[in-house]
Structure 1
Amino acid sequence: MGGAAWSALTDLVLPRTCAGCGLPGPSLCRRCAALLARPHLATPRRFPEGFPPTVAAGAYDGAVRPAVLAFKERGRAELARPLGTALALAVAAVLAAVPGPPRQVLLVPVPSSAAALRERGRDHVRELAGRAVRELRAAGLPAAEARLLRRRGRVRDSAELSAGQRRANLAGTFALAPGAGAVEGRLVLVDDVVTSGATLTEAGSVLAALAGPGGPPVLAAVVAATPRQRRTGSADRLSGPRRSD
């Protein structure tokens, strides 16, 4: 059975609801999707030294949070399209701050841990990156995905760690992928969510070696960024526990 037919059959048996607000309808309704069309600079509470310039498509709050978690942790793979479109918007926004004409743009997904890949059975960040590349190409931007990073070693779950502890926990976690060498074009790290900035900072410091001395800085783009003062209440009850790679 083809993917479209399977999706249609699934809709008959399990009617779709919006992953953000829970109302019947598309996987992400217009109102919730609009929350991911607000590109802004990500501002972690305490900027780690070396944190790359990062744009988020929306705030990791309200209806956005359960939507991201539904895609990441609960198998709602169809959300790759709207969330990938949001990621493409964030990439375009961070590139707009760079002077000069557009050139090759390489989206570098932050690699998930081996444990997370086993648990989810998929690489959700690569799915987002692939969708974002298609959206950017459709808009006329020469974009491609580049798997330039790999993870090494094991790290603790960082959900309950402070910003400083997260950075120490991730030290030495990332390395250049085998065969990665000097690249032409703009490097943009991509991930689903930025919280403390520790992951993007650590990954960006490794990736910067490919740009060479005096090369353009590594940029970053994410679907959503945790706001400085996050609201509590109904959103937390809807989204459940937070899990971090």
Structure 2
Amino acid sequence: MPGTTQDDGPPGLLRTGGRALADLVLPRVCAGCAGPGAVLCPACRSRLTRPRLAEPRRHPPGFPPTVAAGAYAGPVRPAVVAFKEHGVAELAAPLGAALALAVAAVLGGLPPSPGPVLLVPMPSAPAAVRRRGRDHVQELAAHAVAELRAGGLPAGSVPLLGRTGRTRDSAGLDAAARRANLTGRFRRLPARLPPGCRLVLVDDVATSGATLTEAARALTAGAGSPDAGEPVVAAVVAATVRRGPRSAPARAPATFTVRR
């Protein structure tokens, strides 16, 4: 698939082989709580079965309705980091299943569509792909698609977004700086989409909301496409928990109103 980066060179093969060898030699512990047993124990998995609306602390204008499978806190955070930054490939299955749950939940807030559901992975920066040896969001999307199909939902994945220029590392940036760093950094790629399809942006985590907001803006810029005029929604494995008082009454998990 265009845009997919795989461990297809010697460095990637060495990384993959090294991880497999480590799994054989070292005792397996949960990536979330560090308890012995599965790569993600049942208790930590259960934290990713609680769909909720992602609510950034400073809600950026244009932030798409986004559902997270769980909170980016407690043992969920080290599990996501282990998959994303430390190459714990076995976590792709449980985290992908969590992403599929979030996709199903966000679709529940939309009217039925006759076409398939197409997941649009957030494109990783080229430098990050080279450092990690893979595109972790595409891996999550592939597992989520498999889960959705197993549940009887027609689904696929399409690399519909590309990056333009360079961005700074977002670590340490506040919400305003993240938005400025990402402005104009995504573009919609040409693709033939089936009529009536539903596009869902997918990513591993939502924090400030800046990335998904800018991606949604780029996605809706393709006037005349089969999905033109359709609401943009998103799904993530986990989202940061909003702190402090709310300005409006809390809604039930995974419910929202789409205004056309």
Query: TM-score range with shorter-chain normalisation?
Result: 0.7 to 0.9
TM-superposition CA deviations, 1:18-68 (whole Å, max 9, x none): 000001100000000000000000000011111000000000000000000
In 2: Cα distance, 1:191 partner to 1:11 partner: 26
TM-superposition CA deviations, 1:146-194 (whole Å, max 9, x none): 00011111111112111111111101110122x3356531110000000
Determine helix, strand or coil for the equivalent of 2:67: strand
Match of 1:162 in 2: 174
Closer, same or farther in 2 for the Cα pair 1:23/1:108, shift >3 Å?
A: same
TM-superposition CA deviations, 1:194-214 (whole Å, max 9, x none): 000000000111111347596
> What is the TM-score normalised by the length of structure 2?
0.81
**1:64 aligned onto 2:76:** yes
Match of 1:237 in 2: none
Give 2:156's aligned amino acid: A
Richer in helix (by share): 1
Determine helix, strand or coil for the equivalent of 2:70: strand
Match of 1:3 in 2: none
For 1:41-52, list aligned pairs within 5 A: 41-52=53-64
Match of 1:122 among 134, 137, 157: 134
**1:218 aligned onto 2:229:** no
Match of 1:242 in 2: none
Determine helix, strand or coil for the equivalent of 2:220: helix
Query: How much has 1:10 moved relative to structure 2?
Result: 4.8
Query: How much has 1:8 moved relative to structure 2?
Result: 8.1
Match of 1:180 among 191, 198, 202: 191
Query: How much has 1:141 moved relative to structure 2?
Result: 0.5
> What is the TM-score normalised by the length of structure 1?
0.86
Instruction: Give the aligned CA root-mean-square deviation in angstroms.
Output: 2.1
In 1: Cα distance, 2:74 partner to 2:137 partner: 21
Structure 1: 5+ residue stretches without partners: 1-5, 231-245
In 2: Cα distance, 1:9 partner to 1:160 partner: 35
Closer, same or farther in 2 for the Cα pair 1:101/1:66, shift >3 Å?
A: same
Match of 2:243 among 210, 229, 245: 229
TM-superposition CA deviations, 1:91-119 (whole Å, max 9, x none): 00000111225631010000000111111
In 2: Cα distance, 1:210 partner to 1:160 partner: 32
For 1:90-101, list aligned pairs within 5 A: 90-100=102-112
Aligned pairs, how many? 225
Closer, same or farther in 2 for the Cα pair 1:102/1:59, shift >3 Å?
A: farther
Contact 2:19 2:88 in 1 (8 A): no
For 1:63-82, list aligned pairs within 5 A: 63-82=75-94
